[in-house]
């Protein structure tokens, strides 16, 4: 069998895990990174079809998006694994972690298997499923965590639902820790937030919308931290959105608890005022918070207390979004805007480029125990070539997702993926797309 | 009221008080005065809206607001159609969009809409070609109520510098929100009085004073506006019982005595007698403006229809 090679030359190599940031080259052989370094391919023949001239752009590990909702199975009109993967590659995302909140719920080993096979057959990126932590996401009975893990579930979560029953959660966490399984939680007190659609405060009052206070999140964060302390389970908060939650997690980390957390790109970029005159595309879960909380999320990423940035991609169709605000569904698409929105932290001087990228590569890889997310010999050649300065304007008509519910319509950002590779194969080439 | 009448409103819709200027509010109130006079004359009709179609689209049951708008439209000579849409909670939103597109095809000139969801009127305004009047959307705004309250007050007192207490379920009240905006814009001082479960978060940032105690809150007040307490919110959800609510926040003569002598009492109706207001206060013609509010309601709605019609094209529209 002949060796399939791709040579990347003239790149700015950034490996967020190892802190590498140098000009150099990278060699891919048979889908894996075979070599890389500053002295590699300095004088390679750039007309060779195996050679990709990176023109000084950033070559980094492909992004890993730890929080993606799709509609497959059950709501394929909103999004399939295939359509989500098309959006992903445009955003430089080479691995998506899909949530079990589908119909049926991914709470059976055979359904985990279905997602994996379906993704293999249709998707352009790696698709790794999380399985439900409780059956039917009902928060009552734990799932077969051992069997599901064997089937390929990378973590256990009830997605955007909080397990309200503390006894159930305690046992699920204790049981999960038996298998070293990662549990991903959603923090919103279901009773306090029942019926609410925005963050409680002056603006919600002005709009007359049912609202819940930010501490409805922090209460659950604090509760779950206590349960982690009790059970020793590895626990990741899928996304947090306010300063008090950040402080609680910082304190838990300082105590040495195995707790990590994520934040969505939209909670880094938007606040409650962006709801404007009832824009339902701004209705997300947890809701957009105050400006002080948004700023705290940016700080949290910069300080490293927030480990991961996610898109929290949640496609919704017109039937669920073209409704009065209180009736409209939660959720925003984000796979294609994750990178540009996150890069704003770098452009605004809050964090270095490698640090921002780490929150979407090495950090989620480490939490999930993946081989990807690094530039290292032997690692999968999941790569993204980033033009960090390219200007983009978000246009919902040009999104590749089946759904159009972006909260960033018309906004301008700097930075985008120029090319995306999965296992050494080019799955997206910005220039080729432009010509097509 | 002539065809060459001056424009009054910037917008082609009336969705809330928040977007109105002091000039617009004053002009609407002045215009309404003319319609008060017309309403008291023998010949109560004007041909101003002759040939125009006004649709009353009510997703929530309402007797007085709907009939007030209907009468206002008819007195101005418009064809008024009433649509009451009963909806289940599941199909609410779908019905709204579907109904909107259906109505659009009927080419109404003015649509008056009441809906249980905040923002519903604004949503319709974006989808339809006609003028939209918000007759109450969820807990957001009820602009014609605030305007009629202001008209009622203005006929007795100067709005500027007036101390007005709004009492009761502020949290869920669109009437309270519209009145807070309007009274604030017109230079009145607003106090809110009620139990903390019925006060919105951060309400203090609205430039109002907040009280939980009626005796304290009513001290020095010129006008007391009572709010209706929805029956389903009284049995343990927001307040423990109607009798406890009446004991602490129901307006009776004893509590009214804490206010300024000559204080006037208002209520947007329909009243829950013995819950938020005692009959001896509600029926006291010396202090209660409740019936006058209803009369002013028709005049204000005529003024609003008049003002909006000034922005309508004189010829038919080619859509």
| 3-state SS string for A334-373 | CCCCHHHHHHHHHHCCCCCHHHHHHCCCHHHHHHHCCCCC
Instruction: Please indicate whether, in this complex, the C-beta atoms of A201 and B201 are within 8 angstroms of each other.
Output: yes
ipTM of the complex: 0.83
CB contact under 8 A, A324 and B139: no
pLDDT, residue B313, reads 82
Q: In the predicted model, is pLDDT for residue B318 greater than 60?
A: no
Please give the structure tokens belonging to residue A259.
């707790």
Helix (H) or strand (E) holding A252: helix A243-254
Q: How far apart are CA B232 and CA B227, in angstroms?
A: 15
Q: What is the pLDDT of residue B62?
A: 87
Out of B93, B118, B203, the one facing A208 most closely (by C-beta) is B118
pLDDT tens column, B216-231:
999 999 999 999 987 7
Nearest by CB to A278, from B119, B201, B206: name it.
Answer: B119
Distance (Å, whole) CA A81 – CA A100: 13
What pLDDT shows up at residue A436?
Answer: 46
- Residues A157 and A97: beta-carbon distance below 8 Å: no
State what percent of residues in chain B have pLDDT above 90.
76
Distance CA A135, CA A147 (A): 14
Q: Which B positions 8-37 lie with beta carbon below 8 A of chain A?
A: 18
CA separation for the pair A294, A285 (Å, rounded): 14
Degrees to nearest 5, angle at CA B80 with B75 and B83: 140
CB B191 within 8 Å of CB B217: yes
Closest residue in A to B91 (Cα) is: A327
Q: Cβ(B133)–Cβ(B110) under 8 Å?
A: yes
In A287-436, alpha helices (H)? 291-303, 318-321, 338-347, 353-358, 362-368, 430-435
Q: Does residue A313 register a pLDDT over 60?
A: yes
Query: Any idea which of A29-33, A235-239, A431-435 has the lowest mean pLDDT?
Result: A431-435
What pLDDT is recorded for position A1? 55
> What residue in A sits closest to B127 (Cα-Cα)?
A322
Is residue B239 left, alpha or beta, with left meaning phi > 0 and alpha meaning psi from -120 to 50?
beta
> CB–CB of B118 and A319 under 8 A?
no
Task: Using an 8 Å CB-CB cutoff, list chain B residues near A319.
Answer: 94
Higher-confidence residue of A315 and A432: namely A315
Average pLDDT of the residues in A122-141 = 97
Task: In whole angstroms, give the CA distance from residue B53 to residue B234.
Answer: 40
B97 three-state secondary structure: helix
Dihedral (Cα; A106, A112, A117, A118), 10-degree rounding: 10
Kindly state whether B164 is in contact with chain A, defined as any CB-CB distance less than 8 angstroms: no
Please name the residues in contact with B20: beta carbons below 8 A apart, sequence gap of 6 or more. Answer: B9, B143, B182, B185
Q: What is the pLDDT of residues A263-308, one digit of tens each?
A: 999 999 999 999 999 999 999 999 999 999 999 999 999 999 999 9
CA–CA gap between residue A228 and residue A347 (Å, rounded): 36
Task: At A352, list the tokens.
Answer: 């270095």
d(CA A81, CA A71) in angstroms, rounded, equals 8
Name which of B126, B167, B133 is nearest B20 in CA terms: B133
B319 pLDDT higher than 50 = no
Pairwise CB contact (< 8 Å): A325 & B117: yes
> What pLDDT, on the 0 to 100 scale, is given for residue B90?
44
Strands B79-84, B163-167: pairing is unpaired
Task: Please compute the mean of the pLDDT values over residues A402-417 and round it to a whole number.
Answer: 96
pLDDT above 90: percentage of residues in chain A: 93
Lowest mean pLDDT among A235-244, B90-99, B255-264: B90-99
SS3 A116: helix
Q: How far apart are CA A130 and CA A96, in angstroms?
A: 10
Indicate whether B3 pLDDT > 50.
no
Q: Specify whether the backbone of A136 is left (phi greater than 0), alpha (psi in -120 to 50) or beta.
A: left
Q: Which residues of chain B neighbour A206 with C-beta distances below 8 Å?
A: 18, 177
The structure tokens listed for A305 are: 């207390």
Q: Give pLDDT, residue A305.
A: 98
Query: Taking 70 as the threshold, does the pLDDT of residue A187 lie above it?
Result: yes
Is A48 a residue whose pLDDT tops 90? no
With tokens 């159930």, the residue in question is A168
CB B103 within 8 Å of CB B129: no
Pairing of strands B189-193, A63-68: unpaired
Calculate the average pLDDT of chain A.
95
* Residues across chain A: 436
Question: Phi/psi zone of residue B158: left (φ > 0), alpha (ψ -120 to 50 degrees), beta?
Answer: beta
Q: How many other CB atoms are there within 10 angstroms of residue B81's CB atom? A: 15
Q: Is B115 on the interface with A (CB under 8 A)?
A: yes
Q: What is the pLDDT of residue B210?
A: 96
Q: pTM for this one?
A: 0.90
């Amino acid at each position: 069998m002949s060796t399939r090679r791709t040579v990347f030359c003239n790149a700015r190599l950034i490996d967020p895990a190892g802190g590498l940031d140098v000009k150099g080259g990278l060699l891919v052989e048979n889908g894996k990174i075979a070599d890389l370094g500053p002295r590699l391919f300095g004088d390679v023949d750039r007309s060779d079809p195996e050679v990709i001239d990176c023109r000084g752009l950033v070559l980094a590990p492909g992004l890993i998006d730890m929080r993606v909702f799709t509609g497959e199975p059950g709501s394929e009109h909103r999004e399939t694994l295939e359509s989500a993967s098309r959006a992903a590659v445009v955003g430089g995302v080479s691995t998506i972690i899909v949530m079990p909140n589908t119909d049926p719920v991914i709470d059976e080993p055979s359904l985990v298997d279905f997602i994996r096979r379906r993704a293999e057959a249709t998707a352009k990126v790696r698709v790794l499923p999380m399985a439900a932590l409780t059956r039917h996401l009902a928060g009552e009975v734990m799932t077969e965590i051992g069997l599901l893990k064997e089937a390929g579930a990378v973590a256990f979560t009830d997605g955007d639902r909080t397990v309200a029953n503390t006894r159930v959660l305690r046992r699920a966490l204790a049981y999960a820790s038996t298998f070293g399984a990662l549990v991903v939680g959603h923090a919103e007190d279901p009773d306090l937030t029942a019926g609410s659609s925005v963050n409680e405060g002056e603006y919600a009052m002005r709009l007359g919308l049912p609202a819940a206070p930010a501490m409805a999140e922090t209460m659950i964060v604090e509760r779950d931290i206590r349960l982690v302390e009790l059970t020793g389970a590895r626990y990741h908060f899928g996304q947090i959105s306010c300063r008090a939650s950040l402080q609680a997690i910082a304190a838990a980390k300082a105590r040495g608890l195995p707790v990590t957390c994520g934040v969505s790109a939209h909670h880094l970029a938007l606040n409650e005022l962006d709801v404007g005159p009832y824009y339902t595309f701004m209705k997300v879960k947890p809701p957009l918070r105050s400006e002080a909380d948004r700023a705290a999320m940016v700080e949290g990423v910069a300080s490293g207390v927030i480990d991961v940035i996610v898109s929290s991609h949640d496609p919704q169709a017109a039937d669920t979004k073209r409704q009065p605000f209180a009736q409209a569904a939660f959720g925003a698409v984000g796979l294609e805007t994750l990178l540009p929105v996150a890069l704003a932290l770098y452009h605004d001087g809050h964090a270095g480029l490698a640090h921002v990228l780490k929150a979407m590569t090495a950090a989620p890889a480490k939490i999930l125990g993946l081989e990807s997310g690094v530039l290292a010999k032997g690692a999968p050649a999941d790569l993204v070539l980033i033009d960090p300065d390219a200007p983009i304007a978000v246009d919902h008509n040009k999104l590749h997702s089946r759904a159009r519910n972006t909260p960033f319509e018309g906004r301008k950002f700097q930075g985008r993926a120029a090319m995306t590779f999965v296992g050494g194969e080019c799955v997206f080439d910005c220039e080729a797309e432009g010509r097509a | 009221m002539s065809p060459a009448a001056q424009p009054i409103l910037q917008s082609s819709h009336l969705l809330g008080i928040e977007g109105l200027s002091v000039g617009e509010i004053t002009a609407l109130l002045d215009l309404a005065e003319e319609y008060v006079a017309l309403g008291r004359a023998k010949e109560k009709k004007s041909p101003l809206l002759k040939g125009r179609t006004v649709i009353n689209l009510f997703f929530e049951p309402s007797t007085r607001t709907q009939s007030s708008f209907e009468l206002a439209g008819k007195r101005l000579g418009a064809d008024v159609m009433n649509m009451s849409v009963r909806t289940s909670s599941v199909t609410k939103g779908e019905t709204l969009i579907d109904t909107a597109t259906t109505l659009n095809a009927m080419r109404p000139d003015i649509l008056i809409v009441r809906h249980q969801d905040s923002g519903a009127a604004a949503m319709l305004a974006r989808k339809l070609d006609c003028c939209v009047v918000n007759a109450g959307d969820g807990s957001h705004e009820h602009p014609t109520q605030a305007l009629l309250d202001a008209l009622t007050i203005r006929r007795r007192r100067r709005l500027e510098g007036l101390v007005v207490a709004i009492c009761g379920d502020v949290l869920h009240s669109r009437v309270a929100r519209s009145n807070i905006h309007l009274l604030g814009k017109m230079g009145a001082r607003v106090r809110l009085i009620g139990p903390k479960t019925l006060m919105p978060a951060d309400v203090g940032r609205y430039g109002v004073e907040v009280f939980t105690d009626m005796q304290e809150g009513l001290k020095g007040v010129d006008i007391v506006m009572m709010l209706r307490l929805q029956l389903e919110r009284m049995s343990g959800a927001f307040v423990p019982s109607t009798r406890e609510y009446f004991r602490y926040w129901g307006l009776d003569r004893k509590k009214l005595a804490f206010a300024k002598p000559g204080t006037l009492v208002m209520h947007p109706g329909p009243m829950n007698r013995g819950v938020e207001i005692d009959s001896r206060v509600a029926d006291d013609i010396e202090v209660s403006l409740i019936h006058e509010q209803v009369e002013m309601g028709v005049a204000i709605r005529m003024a609003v229809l008049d003002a909006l019609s000034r922005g309508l094209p004189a010829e038919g529209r080619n859509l």
